[in-house]
Amino acid sequence: MRKVIFLFLIACNSKGYSSENEKFLLNRYIDSTRANAIVYASQLAAPSIVSITVLTKEVVEEYPPFLDPFWKEIIPPSYSIRTVQSLGSGIVITSDGYVITNEHVVGDNPDSILITFPNAEQYVAKLIYKDAKLDLALLKINSNRKDFPYAKLGNSDELMVGEWAIAIGNPLAFYLENTEPTITAGIISAIGRSVKGKGDREYRNMIQTDAAINPGNSGGALVNVKGEVIGVNTFIFSQSGGFEGIGFAIPINTVKKFFNEVIKFGKLREAFIGIDVQPLTNEIKKALGYNGNLGVLVSSSYDSQIKEGDIILKVNDKEIKNVGDWHNLTYFLVPDDILKIELFRNGKIYSFELKPKEVIYDEYKSDFGIKWTINNPLIAQKFSLKTIKGILVLEVFQNSLAEYIGIKKGDVILKMNGIDINNKNDFEKVLEIVKSKRYIDITIDRFGQKLYLRSYL
């Protein structure tokens, strides 16, 4: 600013003051400041941000209009099929037309997906893979083109709280005829946020921003001032339904890992390390002779290198201050990952390298009416179970004995008629015994709570 003012004064002194000179110099200064870093970053990224239109067919119950609710209990409805349209945003990440968006944008069973570029070009796309846990989906444009505009991906591990953040997407696209994306700016408000989503979905390590994000922005880009995509805009916190300054984006490094896994293996190879942790209290620290402020306590471990009672201090050189930090660094692992663990044990600091194990398990079906698998520490971690014993119920079949008794998906069967169930033979043996009895007793673990079920046969 000082330099500009100095030049302005020199110009006035050399030519003499006039309103024309002042207007000319002021306009030139304003023009030079309009094209700032946000403008340049937006121009770099915007061509690769697309609008996504998803059409899905659904069956709808229909009754005659003005029918009294009483008659709805007697008169069966008619059924019709209607097409539901939903809109979101996406990011083209390769020149041959791979597109990243949110899983909730494409839904469960999309019938058609249409991609619209900012220049109004439209293409049909197909769903390659989606993952509800990560809320990510990969699409591929149906075209032989190899020159699609695509985004440059940044490094979300290098983000700084307070740096500029630019949200690019297609909010409220139902009402806007212009295909150009909408651009809003703010800052990175926080990093490493964890938020409980709907159902089993849990968002981890999220980027928080106050750049305005509105309906239709889901799947769009969060961009830094270099024009690099640093996150995928996903959801907002709002009491009014509109934006209130709290938006969240999935870090782009999570997206990169997701994309690489799907392209190479056709799926996500989920892997786990079989370690459970709990908060480190002052009483526990005193008992273990630890005086530091970092760390979480290992409560159970499937890995022989890590023992119960160890205090984990760092993972990949990142400090672990609480259980949330631990889950942020371990919630999305693949078999190729390597975790460098620094821990405290018996007054000394130790370092280990852990390689996550892919969870591969056999599924069984039984006449009892369930699909199930044998529980173990890796299964328990994958499904967030509170026990490593018993067998896990993966599915309960309709009109089966299991459904009648009250067994639910996610239950862990620990005992049947007083017999511990820990493997396939145990389960098959006890089912044979039950056939000769007039009753069945089952002890289950349901979300950490032990329940006792009895039914007479």
Catalytic residue (choose from 42, 51, 135, 276): 135
Question: Residue 302 corresponds to which tokens in the numbers above?
Answer: 């499937």
- Decide: 250 and 243 in contact? Cβ < 8 Å: no
Catalytic residue (choose from 210, 218, 310, 445): 218
CA distance 45 to 150: 8
Beta strands 152-153; 228-236: pairing state:
parallel
Q: What is the 3-state secondary structure (H, E, C) of 329-348?
A: HHCCECCCCCEEEEEEECCE
189 included as an active-site residue: no
CA distance 375 to 413: 10
One DSSP character per residue, 63-116 reads --TT--HHHHTTSPPEEEEEEEEEEEEEEE-STT-EEEE-HHHH-SS-SEEEEE
Vertex 20: Cα angle to 15 and 24 (nearest 5): 90
- Decide: 100 and 252 in contact? Cβ < 8 Å: no
Catalytic residue (choose from 42, 51, 89, 104): 104
135 included as an active-site residue: yes
The DSSP call for residue 61 is E
The DSSP call for residue 417 is T
Q: State the burial class of residue 393 (Cβ atoms within 10 Å of its Cβ: 0-12, 13-18, 19+).
A: buried
Vertex 45: Cα angle to 42 and 48 (nearest 5): 135
Question: Residue 454 corresponds to which tokens in the numbers above?
Answer: 């009895």
Q: State the burial class of residue 174 (Cβ atoms within 10 Å of its Cβ: 0-12, 13-18, 19+).
A: exposed
Active site members? 104, 135, 218
